[in-house]
Amino acid sequence: MASRARRRVVLAAAAVVLLPLDARAQFAKTRRIGILMPSTAPGTADLVDAFEQGLKERGYQPGRNIALEYRYSEGRMERVPALASELVAAGAEVIMSPTDEVVRLIKQRVPAIPIVMVNSGDPVRSGLVESLARPGGNVTGISNLSPEITAKRLELLKEAIPGLVRVAYLWNPRLPGAEEVYGELESAARLLRLELRSAPAPRAEDIAAAFAALSGGPTAAVIVQAPNPVLYTARKRIAELAREKRLASMFNRWEYVAAGGLISYGPNVREMYRRAAYYVDEILKGARPAAMPVEQPTQFELAINPQTATELGIAIPRSLLLRADKTL
């Protein structure tokens, strides 16, 4: 009996060797990756597509040598901890997720699992990492430099509307690092001689009331906090409300502009997701997040919606239109 069993093992091993290379790959260990998105599946399809493309560039094929476990909180932050637990229960070896607040919730719920963050506003101020050069814990990834480019967004808004006088900031003051970013915005507004008004909207249900309290007109605009998963999920409604109030609008991502907003300026987020695959690959190969420096984006995009400008009666300067990476 023992010799018969040994023959079966030998024959099975020989069969694997004789299989074509593609078929033999099925016998390799399947690595399991968790992806926790705070928005919806349709709303982030292009981003997860970029992430999967990055994985393929590094030799991974979903369904062959990796399994991807997706979870979506659909703008409900209270669901994030439970979804993180689900991913760990499903066997995820690493979790990829965007924004400081979502990553913080994941880290609190599953403190041991490696986390690759994407589109983080300020991971040091948020307490996610000790420093950009040496994160020192289980989190690493890519920061979007949000505090540093807040002033640039305001400058571009002023360039688009030279007569601009008032700017409202739609935001959630409770997010980690939010107060510091608001301080950056206040300083920029003073330099540009703009009146800045706070328009808090911690929840999706608060967005309509925040807009109702604002005054519109040709000298007024709204700038939207970034990154903010709740506001991003509600981007179409935000763009609609801004147009209804006759408010010019500035965002961090072109998807807001595609939804009817006026202008956006920020990192190429799709490229950031593609780059996140590098971190996942290195961690699966044994790298420690604690020793992997946090990267900052090198590609930035300016997007403008000329149709929205026409609807609002805004004549965007030709010099600004020519600099736009996208006109939607």
Q: What is the mean pLDDT of the chain?
A: 88
Q: Where residue 204 sits, what CATH number does that domain have?
A: 3.40.50.2300
Query: What are 100's two structure tokens?
Result: 């400081």
Are residues 201 and 217 located together in one domain of the fold? yes
Q: Which residue has the higher pLDDT, 116 or 63?
A: 116
Whether 214 and 91 share a structural domain: no
**Which residue range forms the structural domain that includes residue 62?**
2-145+269-299
Same domain, 66 and 215: no
221, 248: one domain: yes
Q: Could you report the per-residue pLDDT of 203-226, keeping only the tens digit for each?
A: 999 999 999 999 888 899 999 998
Question: Given this model, what pLDDT does residue 146 score?
Answer: 59
Please calculate the CA angle 107-112-114 and round it to the nearest 5 degrees: 75
Provide the pLDDT for residue 17.
44
- For residues 170 and 22, membership in a common domain is answered with no
221 and 203 in one domain?
Answer: yes
The domain total for the chain is: 2
Residue 58, token pair as written in the block: 């590094």
Residue 195 near residue 165 (C-beta atoms within 8 A): yes
Residue range 118-142: average pLDDT?
Answer: 92
What is the reported pTM?
A: 0.77
**Do residue 229 and residue 212 come from a single domain?**
yes
Q: 30 and 127 share a domain?
A: yes
Q: Let me know whether 153 and 228 are in one domain.
A: yes
- Residue 147: the pLDDT is 57
> Which residues share a beta bridge with 171?
200
Q: If you average pLDDT over residues 223-250, what whole number do you get?
A: 93
Question: What secondary structure, in 3-state letters, does the chain show?
Answer: CHHHHHHHHHHHHHHHHHCCHHHHHHHCCCEEEEEEECCCCHHHHHHHHHHHHHHHHCCCCECCCEEEEEEECCCCHHHHHHHHHHHHHCCCCEEEEECHHHHHHHHHHCCCCCEEEEEECCCCCCCCCCCCCCCCCCEEEEECCHHHHHHHHHHHHHHHCCCCCEEEEEECCCCCCHHHHHHHHHHHHHHCCCEEEEEECCCHHHHHHHHHCCCCCCCEEEEECCCCHHHHHCHHHHHHHHHHCCCEEEECCHHHHHCCCCEEEEECHHHHHHHHHHHHHHHHCCCCHHHCCCECCCCEEEEECHHHHHHHCCCCCHHHHHHCCEEC
Same domain, 162 and 307: yes
Q: Are 111 and 165 members of one domain?
A: no
As a whole number, mean pLDDT of residues 295-323 equals 93
Same domain, 132 and 8: yes
The Cβ of residue 310 has, within 10 Å, a number of other Cβ atoms equal to: 11
